[in-house]
Amino acid sequence: MYRILFEHPDFLVLDKLPGIGMHDEQVGEQGIARGLVNRVKADTGLTLYPVHRLDKMTSGLVLLARTTEANRALSMAFAAREVSKQYLALSDRKPKKKQGWVKGDMQKGRGGNWLLARTLDNPAISWFDSVAVREGLRLYRIKPQTGKTHQIRVALKSIGAPILGDERYGGTPADRGYLHAWRLSFTLAGEPFELACPPAVGSEFATPELTAAITTLTL
Q: Is residue 206 classed exposed, middle or buried when 0-12, 13-18 and 19+ CB atoms within 10 A define those classes?
A: exposed
User: Is 43 annotated as catalytic?
Assistant: no
Q: At a CB cut-off of 8 Å and minimum separation 6, what does 215 contact?
A: none
d(Cα 155, Cα 151) in Å, to the nearest integer? 6
Q: 129: Cβ–Cβ under 8 A, 6 or more apart, which residues?
A: 98, 99, 140, 141, 217
Which residue is catalytic, options 15, 24, 55, 105? 55
**Which amino acids are annotated catalytic?**
55
